[in-house]
Structure 1
Amino acid sequence: MTFNRLLAILLLNAAGLALFFSWYLPANHGLWFVLDKNIFYWFNDRLVTNKALLWLLAVTNFRAFDGVALLAMGYLYLTFWRRETPEGRRRLLAIGVAMLISAVVLNQLCRLIPVSHPSPTRFFPNVNHVTQLTGIPAKDASTNSFPGDHGMMLMIFACFMLRYFTRRAFFIAVAIVLVFATPRIMIGAHWFTDVVVGSLSIVLVGMSWWLITPASDYLVNALYRYLPGKYKPVN
């Protein structure tokens, strides 16, 4: 591993840890809590006055809507798949499986972080719930919302786009993160910091060691070689 890569890892780790501890160390999370509270109430108060916003959040936080996020990521992946040779498609499959494994492992590791709190809709009393206002069983509350696992999965996808594909694909993936992670914050299922601090800090630390070092390449190459199916490498 080159010096520049090691430096990039250390800088990303420093940024992730600084972000996390800027939230974790201050009493009651300091100014982060003020920002969290203001963002939550700005949207929550408008649920009873803005019907368009209410129904938008009901639809975008309905469980089935998560499938739209998968379709968006799948379509971006498909644009590369269609241009590849059979051998290249096998490698894309290996990258996809490696991405899934990475997401599952990192999601489990982040459970070791000694932080747990309910979503703002469970923390604050007498607030509006989209489910009650619309009758749609939207995800508008959580007993433990830190870190934002939905946002973290989307960020991991964006990281893989940057590592194995193109910058253009990365920026599209970032747009996917914003489009599909933001509704969870707007509805109150997550605090703003669950995603911006929790998800992002974990991804900065975890994915830097995984993607900038050869570690992810070892897994991708092993999957490319040993996954069942056609077009396995001959040596």
Structure 2
Amino acid sequence: MDNHARIQATWRWPAFTALHLLVAVLLLSWVPETGRELWRAAGAHLFTVLHGTLGHSASWDLLWALCSTRLWDVLAGALMLTLLLHQGWAFRGAETRRALFHLLALLLILVVLRTLFSKLVGYFHWQHASPSMLIPNSFRLSESFPALERLFEVKDRSSRSFPGDHASVLIVWGLFMACFSRGWKLAASTGLVVFCSLPRLIAGAHWLEDIAVGGVLLAALAFAWGYCTPLGGLIAAGLERASQPLLPVLRRLPLLGNWGVLQSR
């Protein structure tokens, strides 16, 4: 079997349909006022449980303060990129380049969908502030660690927390890796997505609905249209063609030159 054929956005009707059904269920559970009240009640309970662990141990607070910074977002992104490009994790040899461009295509589609969805959120007045700003006596990690706040910004509050952009990116990556990972590697990738989603919930930057509705909805639509139709493949092919002039230069660089993502097919 051609390894490159494994990584090809094409019509996948069962997955395309299932993802859109998931989106419909989420919207039907959340758009009605009563549905949003139930989601908010569940989010408030989860906030009480998770956020309630803060303020009792300085080391515990520091852990989640660090994981709520922009620096951690960069490090987590670097780790996810490393797993994507690592030889033998999910892809091998030159097929890593195809995987990289397909993931970039998915993320571009996600950005477009997020922009369009933000218009709907504004029009229907669905936007809201994070729980740390609405629930009294919330513990502020940014105030407990002012040096971290000054250096890297601790994400523990937002006046516009819906949908969870951070979570949608994580979920898109997780869905893509799940297509090519099995066993403990699949569990590790899934665990990374869950762990990297937790800081925003524990710190109080997001409600449960921001991630479980907004983040999942956007990720599901991006994956449905980006990998379960030919659209993502067309975008990936365009990105790959545009990168061709850079490849000979990158192959001559120390360390980078041996990466599978830069090798000829």
Fold in common (TM above 0.5): yes
**Conserved 8 A contact 1:17-1:205:** no
Bigger drift between 97-106 and 50-59 goes to 97-106
For the pair 1:41 / 2:48, whether they are aligned, the reply is: yes
Aligned match of 2:7: none
For the pair 1:120 / 2:134, whether they are aligned, the reply is: no
Alpha-carbon shift at residue 144 of structure 1 (Å): 0.5
Distance 1:175 1:96 in 2: 19
- Listed as ranges, the gaps of 5+ residues in structure 1 are none
Q: Are residues 7 and 74 of structure 1, via their aligned partners in 2, closer, same or farther at CA, if it must alter by over 3 Å?
A: closer
Partner of residue 189 from structure 2, selected from 173, 196, 205: 173
Distance 1:55 1:30 in 2: 32
In the superposition, the TM-score normalised over structure 2's length comes to 0.75
Partner of residue 204 from structure 2, selected from 168, 185, 188: 188
Aligned match of 1:84: 93
Alpha-carbon shift at residue 9 of structure 1 (Å): 1.7
Provide, for residues 151-183 of structure 1, a one-character-per-residue CA deviation record: whole Å limited to 9, x for no partner: 1111111223245x4346654332221111111
Alpha-carbon shift at residue 196 of structure 1 (Å): 1.1
- AA aligned opposite 1:175: G
Aligned match of 2:108: 101
For the pair 1:214 / 2:225, whether they are aligned, the reply is: no
Bigger drift between 119-128 and 7-16 goes to 7-16
Partner of residue 36 from structure 2, selected from 17, 21, 29: 29
Considering only aligned residues, what root-mean-square deviation do their CA atoms show, in Å?
Answer: 2.6
Q: Are residues 172 and 105 of structure 1, via their aligned partners in 2, closer, same or farther at CA, if it must alter by over 3 Å?
A: farther
Aligned match of 2:168: 152
Q: Are residues 83 and 129 of structure 1, via their aligned partners in 2, closer, same or farther at CA, if it must alter by over 3 Å?
A: same
Q: Per the alignment, in what secondary structure is the counterpart of residue 70 of structure 1?
A: helix
Provide, for residues 11-58 of structure 1, a one-character-per-residue CA deviation record: whole Å limited to 9, x for no partner: 221112212321221337232222111111223333222333322211
Alpha-carbon shift at residue 213 of structure 1 (Å): 1.2
**Conserved 8 A contact 1:40-1:186:** yes
**Conserved 8 A contact 1:159-1:170:** no
For the pair 1:66 / 2:73, whether they are aligned, the reply is: yes
Identity of aligned residues (%): 27
Q: Are residues 214 and 124 of structure 1, via their aligned partners in 2, closer, same or farther at CA, if it must alter by over 3 Å?
A: same
